[in-house]
Amino acid sequence: MEVKVNKKVKSTTEDELQLLSKEELIAKITQLEAHNAQLKSIVQKSLKSREETTQAKGTKKHRPFDFSKCFKRHILLRFYYLGWDYQGFAAQEDSIETIEHHLFSALKKVCLIESRETSNYNRCGRTDKGVSAFHQVISLNVRSKFRPEEQLAEGKLTAELDYCSMLNRVLPEDIRCLAWMPMVNPAYSARFDCRSRTYRYFFPRGDLNISAMEEGMRHLVGTHDFRNLCKMDVGNGVVNFVRSIDEIRIKPSQSDSYSEGSYDMMYVELRGKAFLWHQVRCIVAVLLLVGQGKEEPTVVKELLDVEKNPCKPQYSMASDVPLNLYECAFNEKSNECTDREQEGSDLRDWIYNEDNLRRTISELQALWMKHSVKTTMIREMLKTLEDIYAGDRPICDQAVHLTQGVRSKEYCPLLQRQRCESLENRIQHYAKKRRIEVSIKSNDSNADGSDEPGQHVPADGINNERYVDHGVTRIEN
């Protein structure tokens, strides 16, 4: 099946407005006024922030940087961020509180790139609102001190611009660049040449039955249709929900000396090439229900059987705070060939600057100290109250609070709940609204969700071309 997304036209013609009813015109004006007010508020906040920054640093103007006189090199850039206070990784039109916004602001501020559009930029993964990453990687062209033919020489690598230190001086404290890697192949993509992504979801043990959760997890390994374990994004052209999970397991993280294990921290680790929208959080939500004894481990197998259960039961996702893009692994050779073929691997060693690493560790220790002190204070208070409490059984609700939404007094099993619309009904709905155009293709789509093999296009969709995000097919005009 091929799905074409009809991107909304920015302006409506006079003839089209004449055809609208009075109610439709009122709804359109109301929507535009609300959007206009939102944009004004964002612009005002941005301008105010810039004015305050300018006043603090003075009004001295600098000459524009002349990039035409600079050499460029293609690199991978590795960094971490704590995404709890951000609206996600990808840049958005209605918010400046995204990781990409701050990242490109820093790249331009230190004159490493001229613009996003001219930087040959690709990102390894795009995390949602509140989600963090320890091993996020981007690929792009940046300014270099040396000519292209000299850039891979050993002495030149050590004498190159200190990219990470330059960026960390202007990035927010919860976004830090860790290392960079020189690339031989200018077509190597942090996105399309990533062979696996590993996520970790941290949670307190509480009174969870870890064995039952592990039994349920075993059904997830392999290739399945995950439409019942994600949030379907049909309006953006996503109609293929078949993905593969290579490995999933639960491991201990930290132990608590005061309790008998209920305050121990654990994490679910998932590894695969591509993940769907909210797939990890939906999987964890179901596993938590299994761990609490509210569902049998076989419910995971039932949800993966889309012929028997074509419609997703209504349930709340797990919280976004504990989710972390923890590791990314890359192909030795790029899928995109160049005129200059390179023997051996396209990858090189990550280049770390010891001083930058020392500063980053120190800053992260300071952040850990602040949160750890608060956690310890709360833990001591809990210990005192638990010593006083004389109930029949101990209270172990730590993991319960990870699930979002209102908890009902009487639990209704997942497979007995009200169902969401089927995939077919959603496709029909958006096709009727002319948001998407659907046509059947004779050939099967690729495992990564793309319709054409080996096509490299911008990850940000700036050129309004077809793009695949973590294997999610989205086709735009």
Catalytic residues: 128
Placement of tokens 């002190």 in the chain: 373
Q: Helix (H, G, I), strand (E, B), or coil: what is residue 30?
A: helix
DSSP per-residue string spanning 267-332:
EEEEEES---TTHHHHHHHHHHHHHTTSS-TTHHHHHH-TTT--SPBP-PPBPSTTEEEEEEEE-S
**Alpha-carbon gap, residue 178 to 109, rounded angstroms:** 18
Q: Helix (H, G, I), strand (E, B), or coil: what is residue 16?
A: helix
CB contact at 8 A, 126 and 199: no
Check the CA dihedral 38-43-46-48 and report its sign.
negative
Q: How many angstroms separate the Cα of 248 from the Cα of each of 200, 207, 243?
A: 10, 21, 14
Q: How many angstroms separate the Cα of 319 from the Cα of each of 182, 282, 415?
A: 37, 10, 22
Tokens matching residue 380: 């001591």
59-82: burial string, b at 16+ Cβ within 10 Å, e else: eeeeeeeeeeeeebbbbbbbbbbb
**Amino acid identity for residue 404 in this structure:** Q
CB contact at 8 A, 176 and 168: yes
CB contact at 8 A, 337 and 191: no
- The residues near 41 (Cβ < 8 Å, ≥ 6 apart) are none
